Homo-oligomer: A and B are copies of this chain.
Amino acid sequence: MQIRIAIVFLILFPFIHILKAQEMKGIKEFYQKNEYTLLSEYFSFLSLPNTFNDRTQLEDNATFILKMMQKAGIKSQLLYDKDKKCVPVVFGEINQPKATKTIIFYAHYDGQPVNPANWSTGLEPFKPQLLSDRLDKGGKFIDFPKPDVKFDPDWRIYGRSSADDKAGVFCIIKAYEAILNNGLNPNINIKFFFEGEEENGSVNLESVLEHNKDILKADLWVICDGPMPASGQKQITFGVRGDVNMHLTVFGPKRPLHSGNFGNWAPNPAHKLTRLLASMKDDHGKVLIDGYYDDVLALTEEEKLAIKNIEDPGPHLQAELGFAAAETEGMSFLESIISIPTLNINGFSAANTGRLASNVIPTTASAALDLRLVKGNTVEGQVNCVLNHIKKMGYHIVKEEPTDEERLKYPNIIFVATGKGYPAQRTPLTLPLAKKITEAVQQTSGRKVVIMPSAGGSLPLYLFEKVSGIYPITIPVVNYDNNQHAENENLLLGKLSDGILTMASVMMYKY
């Protein structure tokens, strides 16, 4: 019996394989045939401003996504938290009579704030543009081609959220549309979950998950967000770092003072802030704040092994990004990115620099800090380390503009605003369903799929585990050099078609 089954399997195996290959071909052809329409639609999507916290903008995006889903035959609706406080989640559902597994596909449609002045000439955050290559590599502006002209997969789309994370939303919906269009069916029940508050720290995600617990039952979340590795390999990521932002403002004189008439006498908040920030981190990137590394849980043996199996992208990245020395303590790129918490200055400002600089003592100096957390860290724990350090450095902390009394009483006054933040999350590398998905993704690539124990970036994935005990894994689809979160954000065109293929393969795999 066993031998017979084996023989049948051996005879059938090439057909299964061929069938898979044909299915893949069909998905690719769907994209190629409809490229002009698909990209026109994606450009319309990117033209909708989506700055986090701007509800009107975001609701326009949600409406747009709803329409895309309805066009693809997906039963869809908007989900909210109990009090309808949240920006809507766009939710959809496809049930297969014979499916035994349910996977929820997640992406987010809100974007980071934009400062158009920082974008290069000719680029605007919400006027997507095609370029022949990366702008800093000599990319030229390209007019949107006529319907019969082919798009080059090496071109790039520049615009806010072109990569983070409208690409995720688009690939997931279009993967399902491509499957249907080929007369095929997914082998799983699919749920679609598109969030509109991710860049705002997913402040209402927990209540949304709680409030919609019943319709969000599933076996796994597949998160389509974040960049692929610099090597260009496909990747499945089993965790994320946590994250919390802190905003600091040090106070100087109540009005800006002439640096000649008052310089050397009036306290300068910019000098103060440099001393405070400098006390937080040494020349090698080590955080000098007491207790900052105390709670860290070490990587598991499987996680350590997985990292060993990944080629260190450090040297390649270092050359490409143009610096001689990384700010690590002798760790490899991956180790430093996922095994210890970070303290990063996102930005600082005091009065003006460059052409706008003038000879003044500024009234305030501000900095935005980003704290990334690893497994073991809590938001409260890391924030308290920083607050205690600030106090140790002689500061009186205020929650609003200091009063005159406070100003005259305390020599050093700082305003601190802390974001909500969230902890890190890690899905066990040994999870069976996740292994199958690895195989599904592997089918779409000639190169080995990278198994990454944790991303350096953050998503509030701990919530999926916390609210309903469902593990998440992440499958990124966009190029690593996408300038995510910054000016000149861009998407390599070839990643869009390939992302659709990856998502379709996960939907069609027999689990």
Contact = CB atoms under 8 A, between A and B. Distances in A.
A125 B361 CA distance: 19
A67 interface: no
A256 interface: yes
A344 B327 CA distance: 28
Interface residues of A, number: 103
Contacts of A457: 258, 260-261
B346 A349 contact: no
Interface centre among A136, A318, A353 (most CB of B within 10 A): A353
Contact of A455 (B115, B261, B358, B407): B261
B344 A368 contact: no
A326 B277 contact: no
A466 interface: no
A226 B258 CA distance: 10
A352 B353 contact: no
B256 A487 contact: yes
B255 A483 contact: yes
A263 interface: yes
B326 A267 contact: yes
A88 interface: no
Interface of A: 112-113, 115, 118, 136, 226-227, 241, 243, 245, 247, 251-268, 270-271, 273-275, 277-279, 281, 283, 285, 314, 317-328, 331, 333, 336-337, 340, 342, 344-362, 365-368, 370, 372, 394, 404, 407-411, 455-458, 480-481, 483-488
24 contacts: A113-B352, A247-B354, A251-B323, A255-B481, A255-B488, A256-B487, A259-B344, A261-B455, A262-B337, A264-B327, A264-B337, A264-B340, A265-B314, A268-B327, A271-B277, A274-B274, A274-B277, A274-B345, A323-B407, A324-B411, A347-B351, A347-B358, A349-B353, A349-B354
Given A270-B348, A278-B278, A324-B407, 12 more contacts: A113-B357, A115-B356, A227-B258, A255-B486, A258-B486, A259-B346, A259-B485, A264-B328, A268-B327, A268-B344, A271-B278, A354-B368
